[in-house]
Amino acid sequence: MDKKSKQKFFKRNGGLLLQHHISSTRGSTPQTKLFVREDLKKATDNFNENRILGKGGLGTVYKGMLSDGSVIAVKKSNIVDKNQVDQFINEVFILSQISHRHVVKLLGCCLETEVPLLVYEAVVSDFGLSRSVPIDKTHLTTLVGGTFGYLDPEYFRSGQLNDKSDVYAFGVVLAELLTGQQAVSSKTDVGLVLRFRSAIKENSLFQILEKRIATEGPEEEILAVAKLAKRCLKLTARKRPCMKEVAAELDGLTRIKEHKICKQTSRDTCCSTSERSFSCTNETLGEDDEDIK
């Protein structure tokens, strides 16, 4: 590939915007690294099939090794949304500065190729590296999310992620399950979290629910889960419940539903089963309550 083509791709893929971000924060935050195409080709043996860790409809993840011995995972997407370049670059810049045990570290990217290459730190999880790096996701924020998806809004003020950040991300997942919509979509400029909050505030929740849930789900349970999601999505972290509270509340909803089913089917048979289940669950919840205190 000639120098002119590299420059064209670099500019088209938002390279100038990323360079501006990097220069404006130089020395104050961890730097997003701009990788050279030749270095990534060498690291992956020219994207050899033997280096593939995972493959999906939207891209392929390769295992690679840099000249300094660092093991990396390179995501090569099949497509790129030209209308989302600025958002893509902003997400690259933000996520490459995040260091958290639940987030695969994004080291940087290469923008001098036809489609941007994303470079992650290779962290082998229990499910393998290919499960750690999102293959069939067009948005980077599916890693952890945020104002763009699942990322705690407080991160932009404090630069820190904590347990309450996980609660926020879980709230986004609950909203996705209830509505059947993605946290971030190229079809709309307004994120799911904002639309979900607005629907609850305007008493129009059932208008944005996934059709099957809205028509078949028990209204009482739907509202309970929606209210829980709303609490998890509080902008201020201290106002959110802890994950133990969230788990206990969901467990309580499950037990209520099971109890109703038992009463409707075979009262005598289910009664003893329910008592054993309730006894066991209550003991567990009692231990959790002590931990919370």
DSSP string, 155-186: HHHH----HHHHHHHHHHHHHHHHH---SS-T
Provide the pLDDT for residue 228: 96
Distance CA 119, CA 134 (A): 12
pTM score, whole prediction: 0.48
Query: Which residues lie across from 65 on neighbouring strands?
Result: 71
Domains delineated in the chain: 3-144 (3.30.200.20), 163-292 (1.10.510.10)
Provide the pLDDT for residue 132: 43
Nearest to 52 by CA among 39, 41, 43, 63: 63
Query: Which tokens go with 293?
Result: 């205190």
The residue-averaged pLDDT of 249-254 equals: 88
> Which stretches does DSSP call E strand in 78-206?
106-110, 117-121
Most confident of 84-98, 130-144, 220-234: 220-234
Distance of CA 242 to the CA centre of its chain: 18
Q: Does position 253 have pLDDT exceeding 70, yes or no?
A: yes
Q: What is the side-by-side strand order in the sheet with 117-121?
A: 33-34, 106-110, 117-121, 71-77, 59-65, 52-55
Establish how many alpha carbons lie within 13 A of residue 210's alpha carbon, considering only the half-sphere containing its beta carbon.
Answer: 15
Among 132-146, 168-182, 235-249, name the one with the lowest average pLDDT: 132-146
Among 35-44, 57-66, 116-125, 161-170, name the one with the lowest average pLDDT: 116-125
Query: Which tokens go with 220?
Result: 């009482």
Q: What is the pLDDT of residues 45-98, one digit of tens each?
A: 999 999 988 876 667 889 999 999 989 999 887 766 666 677 778 778 777 777
> Which stretches does DSSP call E strand in the chain?
33-34, 52-55, 59-65, 71-77, 106-110, 117-121
Q: Is the separation of the CB atoms in 22 and 16 below 8 Å?
A: no
Distance CA 37, CA 245 (A): 47
Provide the pLDDT for residue 144: 34
The radius of gyration of the chain's CA atoms, rounded to the nearest angstrom, is 23
Query: Which residues lie across from 62 on neighbouring strands?
Result: 52, 74
The residue whose two tokens read 């393998």 is 128
Distance CA 221, CA 185 (A): 27
Q: Is the separation of the CB atoms in 137 and 118 below 8 Å?
A: no
Nearest to 54 by CA among 70, 69, 76, 37: 76
Q: How many residues does the chain have?
A: 293
- Side chain identity at 153, as an amino acid letter? P
Q: Does position 251 have pLDDT exceeding 70, yes or no?
A: yes
Q: Looking at per-residue confidence, does 19 or 99 come out higher?
A: 19
